[in-house]
C-alpha cells in the first residue's frame, strides 16, 4: 500500500479534520473571523458562499445516538436528517452562523421547517431549486434561484459579492474539483495507488475546509499520489463501482479491500456528485454556476429523464471495467429506493452483478455488512 511520506502527512491532516470537523470550523472562524454556513446537499451553490468569504460546511450526522431529535422527527426519516437535527439540538453545531437548504427530497424539505423553528443559527435560507433539470423554463428558474441566493447571502452576511469575488470562488472551486476528479481517475486506472478509505477522507475534508487552501493542497496531493509507484498488492482485485447517496459507513472500503476487491468509482453525494462538472469561467458567472448544477450527475430527487441514472451507471461500469456494483444508501431514502429496482434490472440485463446495502441509524456490527460484501465478492 501507498506509503509516501508527504502523502501520509496530508492524509493524517485530512483525517484529523474529518474526525472533528467542528473543531476545524471553530479554529477557522477564530483565525479568519469569517462565518460558517452549513448545508446538507451537493446541490448547494458553494461558490456563492465562498465568494462571500464564508466557509461552506457540509453537515453530516455525527452518528450520536438519537435522543432529542426523536421529539421532532419520527423514526421513519433517514439518519442524516435525524442525526443532523440531533447534533443541532445538542449544541454540536453551535459554530454555525447560518444554514442553507437546497430543495432535494421531502425529508430535507421538512427538516428545513423544523430547523427554522427549533434552532437559532442566525441565517436560514431555502434555495428552492427546480426538481426538473431538463427544460428551458427550469433553467431560467434556476438562474433566478442562484441570483436570489446571492442576494440573500449578501443581506445576511452584510457583504457585497462582487463579480471579481465570484470569479475567484469559481476558479477555486474548479481547481479543487479538477484535482478530486484526478484522484478518482488515478484510482480507476490503478486502484493500488490510493486506498479508498483515504480518498473518502479527502472528499469529506474537502467539504468543510477552506476552499482556497484546499485547492492548492490538492495539487500537492495529486502529485504525491502520481509519483509514488504501485505497491505490492493482490493481482487483479475484483473491481467494484459503488452507487448511492451518502456513504456514512466508511468501514465499507476496508471491508471491500480486505476481501480482495477494489472500489474503482463511486457516485456518492460525498463522491462523484460533488466534483463532477466544471463551471465556465467566462461570461455570466451566475448562469454558469446554475448550468453546472443543472448538468452534473443527477440526484434521484431530481429529474432529467426516466433512464438517466441507469444509463449512466452502466456506462460508468463499462468505462471503469468493473466486475460488479454495490448500491449503498440510507434506510428511508425514498428517491434512491425508488430507482434501485430499475437500475438493478438494467445492470442484470448487461450481465453486471449487484448488491444492495441499506444503511441504518443503528447499524451496529460491521459483521452484517462484512458478510454481505464478502459473499458478494465471492460471487463475482
Partner 1 sequence: MITAGIDVGSISAKAAIMQDRKLLGASVILTGYNVQNAGRQVLDRVLSELNLSASRIDKIVATGYGRNSIGFADKAVTEITCHAAGGFFLNPEIRSIIDIGGQDSKAIVIDKDGRVRDFSMNDKCAAGTGRFLEVMARALEVDLDAFGELSLRAENTASISSLCTVFAESEVISLISKGAKRENIIAGIHASIASRVMAMAKRIGISPPVMMTGGVAKNIGVVKALEEKLDMPVIVSEHAQVNGAIGAALIASTV
Partner 2 sequence: MRAIMAAYYMEAKTPKEKTGKQIAWITSGGPVEPLHVMDVIPIYPENYGAMIGASKMGAGLCEKAEQMGYSSDLCSYARADIASATVNGGPIGGLPAPDMLICCNNICGTVLKWYEVQARYFNVPLFILDTPVCHTEFNPDMKRYVTAQIREYITFLEKTCGKAFDYDRMKEVGKLSVQAQALWQQILDTTMNRPAPMTCFDAFFHLAMIVTLRGTQVVLDFYESLLHEMKDRIAQGIGMVPEEKYRLIWDNIPVWYRLRWLSDKFAAHSACLVADTYTSGWCSSMKYLDENDFLGSLAEMYTRIFLNTGTGLMADNIIELVEKYGADGVVFHSNRSCKPYSLGQYDIQRLIQERTGIPTLMIEADMTDERYFSESQIETRIDAFIEMLK
User: Is the Cβ of residue 277 or residue 366 nearer to partner 1 in the bound state?
Assistant: 366
**From the list partner 2, partner 1, none, partner contacted by residue 378 (C-beta under 5 to 8 A by kind):** partner 1
Phi first, then psi: what are they for 90, rounded to 5°? -105, 15
**From the list partner 2, partner 1, none, partner contacted by residue 360 (C-beta under 5 to 8 A by kind):** partner 1
Q: Least Å distance between CB 183 and partner 2? A: 32
Q: Which residues are at the interface with partner 2 (CB under 8 A)?
A: 71-74, 76-77, 103, 105-107, 109-114, 116-118, 126, 128, 130-132, 135, 137-138, 140-141, 144-145, 148, 300-301, 303, 306-307, 331-332, 334-335, 337-342, 344, 358
**From the list partner 1, partner 2, none, partner contacted by residue 306 (C-beta under 5 to 8 A by kind):** partner 2
| Stretch near partner 1 under the rule CB under 8 A, chosen from 104-112, 228-236, 306-314, 360-368 | 360-368
User: Is the Cβ of residue 70 or residue 229 nearer to partner 2 in the bound state?
Assistant: 70
User: Is the Cβ of residue 109 or residue 212 nearer to partner 2 in the bound state?
Assistant: 109
Question: What nine digits make up the cell of 278?
Answer: 466544471
Longest dimension (CA), the chain: 58
User: Is the Cβ of residue 131 or residue 379 nearer to partner 1 in the bound state?
Assistant: 379
User: Is the Cβ of residue 184 or residue 376 nearer to partner 1 in the bound state?
Assistant: 376
| Stretch near partner 1 under the rule CB under 8 A, chosen from 67-75, 112-120, 139-147, 365-373 | 365-373
User: Is the Cβ of residue 1 or residue 338 nearer to partner 2 in the bound state?
Assistant: 338
**From the list partner 2, partner 1, none, partner contacted by residue 135 (C-beta under 5 to 8 A by kind):** partner 2
User: Is the Cβ of residue 185 or residue 378 nearer to partner 1 in the bound state?
Assistant: 378
User: Is the Cβ of residue 231 or residue 368 nearer to partner 1 in the bound state?
Assistant: 368
378 binds partner 1 (CB under 8 A): yes
Can you give the chain as a three-state secondary structure string? CCCCHHHHHHHHHHHHHHHCHHHHHHHHHHHHCCCEEEECCCCCCHHHHHHCCCEEEECCCCCCCCCCHHHCCCCCCCHHHHHHHHHHHCCCCCCCCEEEEECCCHHHHHHHHHHHHHCCCCEEEEECCCCECCCHHHHHHHHHHHHHHHHHHHHHHCCCCCHHHHHHHHHHHHHHHHHHHHHHHHHHHCHHHCCHHHHHHHHHHHCCCCHHHHHHHHHHHHHHHHHCCCCCCCCCCEEEEEEECCCCCCHHHHHHHHCCEEEEEECCCCCHHHHCCCCCCCCCHHHHHHHHHHHCCCCCCCECCCCHHHHHHHHHHHHCCCCEEEEEEECCCHHHHHHHHHHHHHHHHCCCCEEEEEECCCCCCHHHHHHHHHHHHHHC
**From the list partner 2, partner 1, none, partner contacted by residue 105 (C-beta under 5 to 8 A by kind):** partner 2
Q: Least Å distance between CB 341 and partner 2? A: 4
- Residues in a beta bridge with 236: none
Q: Which of 34, 260, 277, 353 binds partner 1 (CB under 8 A)?
A: 353
372 binds partner 1 (CB under 8 A): yes
Binding residues vs partner 1 (CB under 8 A): 353, 360, 367-368, 371-372, 374-376, 378-379
Amino acid at each position: 500500500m501507498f506509503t509516501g511520506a508527504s502523502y501520509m502527512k496530508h492524509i493524517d491532516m485530512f483525517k484529523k479534520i474529518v474526525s472533528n470537523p467542528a473543531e476545524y470550523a471553530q479554529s477557522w472562524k477564530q483565525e479568519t473571523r469569517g462565518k460558517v454556513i452549513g448545508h446538507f446537499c451537493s446541490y448547494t451553490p458553494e461558490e456563492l458562499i465562498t465568494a462571500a468569504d464564508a466557509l461552506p460546511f457540509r453537515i453530516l450526522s455525527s452518528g450520536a445516538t438519537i435522543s432529542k431529535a426523536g421529539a421532532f422527527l419520527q423514526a421513519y426519516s433517514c439518519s442524516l436528517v435525524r442525526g443532523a437535527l440531533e447534533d443541532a439540538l445538542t449544541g454540536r453545531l453551535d459554530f454555525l452562523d447560518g444554514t442553507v437548504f437546497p430543495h432535494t427530497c421531502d425529508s430535507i424539505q421538512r427538516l428545513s421547517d423544523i430547523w427554522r423553528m427549533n434552532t437559532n443559527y442566525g441565517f436560514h435560507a431555502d434555495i428552492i431549486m427546480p426538481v426538473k433539470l431538463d427544460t428551458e423554463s427550469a433553467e431560467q428558474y434556476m438562474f433566478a434561484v442562484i441570483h436570489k441566493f446571492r442576494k440573500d447571502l449578501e443581506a445576511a452576511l452584510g457583504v457585497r459579492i462582487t463579480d471579481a469575488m465570484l470569479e475567484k470562488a469559481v476558479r477555486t472551486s474548479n481547481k479543487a474539483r479538477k484535482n478530486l476528479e484526478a484522484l478518482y481517475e488515478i484510482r480507476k486506472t490503478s486502484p493500488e495507488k490510493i486506498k479508498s478509505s483515504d480518498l473518502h477522507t479527502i472528499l469529506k475534508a474537502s467539504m468543510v475546509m477552506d476552499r482556497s487552501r484546499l485547492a492548492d493542497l490538492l495539487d500537492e496531493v495529486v502529485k504525491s499520489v502520481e509519483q509514488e509507484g504501485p505497491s505490492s498488492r493482490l493481482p487483479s482485485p475484483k473491481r467494484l463501482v459503488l452507487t448511492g447517496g451518502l456513504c456514512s459507513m466508511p468501514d465499507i472500503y476496508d471491508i471491500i479491500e480486505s476481501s480482495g476487491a477494489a472500489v474503482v468509482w463511486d457516485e456518492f453525494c460525498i463522491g462523484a456528485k460533488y466534483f463532477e462538472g466544471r463551471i465556465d469561467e467566462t461570461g455570466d458567472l451566475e448562469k454558469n454556476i446554475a448550468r453546472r448544477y443543472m448538468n452534473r450527475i443527477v440526484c434521484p430527487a431530481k429529474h432529467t429523464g426516466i433512464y438517466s441514472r441507469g444509463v449512466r451507471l452502466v456506462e460508468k461500469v463499462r468505462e471503469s471495467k468493473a466486475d460488479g456494483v454495490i448500491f449503498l444508501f440510507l434506510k428511508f431514502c425514498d428517491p434512491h429506493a425508488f430507482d434501485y429496482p430499475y437500475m438493478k434490472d438494467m445492470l442484470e440485463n448487461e450481465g453486471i452483478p449487484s448488491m444492495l446495502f441499506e444503511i441504518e441509524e443503528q447499524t451496529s456490527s460491521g459483521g452484517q455488512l462484512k458478510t454481505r460484501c464478502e459473499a458478494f465478492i465471492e460471487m463475482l
